[in-house]
Amino acid sequence: MALSPGWRAFTSFAMNRCGVLRKAVRSSGFPLFPWGHCPWRGTGSFLDPEMKAFLEENTEVTSRGSLTPEIQLRLLTPRCKFWWERADLWPHSDPYWAVYWPGGQALSRYLLDNPDVVRGKSVLDIGSGCGATAIAAKMSGALRILANDIDPIAGMAITLNCELNQLNPFPILTKNMLDLEQDKWDLVVLGDMFYDEDLADSLHQWLKSCFWVYRTRVLIGDPGRPQFSGHSIQHQLHKVAEYSLPEPTRQENNGLTTSTVWEFQP
């Protein structure tokens, strides 16, 4: 079975050009969290009932085909109606949170296999998406977690995914972290965020500030996108772990075969 032409276009766009959308949202000046509760502590009582019902109806709970079968997630899969529809029929912002991207998979696998990295520590997950890496940090004993994604619907999806994994939802922030005053974190994790050159430059500067001001440890997950592998940050990275991607993830990501966890050491 294959994606419809519309969703093929979406996944291709998301892999290579989704920075256009995210930059537009970041620069729009409009509030990114419509009900004005930020940081957003996602518990069931805070979920918009209509949106919750929409997400539950149009995603599948799955733990198959990824590097972390112990984590259940609500994702867009071939069993979902919108998988086969034209992408423009999706009634909300593009659902990047509904894909378990390979950089996030590698980060999540690494944290589950190495719980001492996060146990008893504070963790910031930038570009959290489906929330899998933040969930992995919680499962591995992180003391304090903040999941950050500019899409409010991602915040709701993260809350639902926490509940699927029998976790109390952690705080979720739907503002652009790069525009806010930095806080002290023991660890910052970010997966699949180097998809756009301008964003990559901004992230690079922000991460350098985190490291030098707070001595924050930074872990980056990426499957080898050209915007990452060709960026000057490569000179400041140490490879921590590399994973072979499961076949379903390879098929969904234009044939990418591995995903790597890097430590940023400026």
Q: Which 3-state string (H, E, C) describes the chain? A: CCCCHHHHHHHHHHHHCCHHHHHHHHCCCCCCCCCCCCCEECCHHHCCHHHHHHHHHHCEEECCCCCCCCCCEEECCCCCHHHHCCHHHCCCCCCHHHCCCHHHHHHHHHHHHCHHHCECCEEEEECCCCCHHHHHHHHCCECEEEEECCCHHHHHHHHHHHHHCCCCCCEEECCCHHHCCCCCCCEEEEECCCCCHHHHHHHHHHHHHHHHHHCCEEEEEECCCHHHHCCHHHHHEEEEEEEECCHHHHHHCCCCCEEEEEEECC
Q: Provide the 10 A C-beta neighbour count for residue 89.
A: 10
Q: How confident is the model at residue 181 (pLDDT cuts 50, 70, 90)?
A: confident
Share of the chain above pLDDT 90, in %: 70
Give the model's pLDDT for residue 128: 97
Give the model's pLDDT for residue 255: 83
Give the model's pLDDT for residue 7: 46
Give the model's pLDDT for residue 48: 85
Tens of pLDDT along 68-115? 999 999 999 999 998 888 888 889 888 999 999 999 999 999 999 999
Q: Is the pLDDT of residue 13 over 90?
A: no
Q: Is the pLDDT of residue 142 over 70?
A: yes
Mean pLDDT of all residues in the chain?
85
The burial class, CB within 10 Å (0-12 / 13-18 / 19+), for 81 is exposed
- pLDDT higher for 1 or 88? 88
The rounded radius of gyration (Å) of the Cα atoms in the chain is 17
Least confident of 40-44, 235-239, 255-259: 40-44
Which phi and psi (to 5°) does residue 116 adopt? -60, -20
Angle between helices 49-58 and 152-164 (to 10 degrees): 70
Q: What residue ranges do the domains of the chain occupy?
A: 47-264
Mean pLDDT of 146-158: 94
Question: How is residue 23 written in tokens?
Answer: 């930059």
- pLDDT higher for 38 or 93? 93
Q: Is the pLDDT of residue 26 over 70?
A: no
pTM: 0.84
Please state, in angstroms and rounded to a whole number, the distance separating the CA atoms of residues 32 and 172: 12
- CA angle, corner 260, sides to 129 and 65, nearest 5? 60
Q: Is the pLDDT of residue 57 over 90?
A: yes
- pLDDT higher for 36 or 87? 87
Mean pLDDT of 223-239: 95
Q: Is the CATH number of domain 47-264 3.40.50.150? A: yes
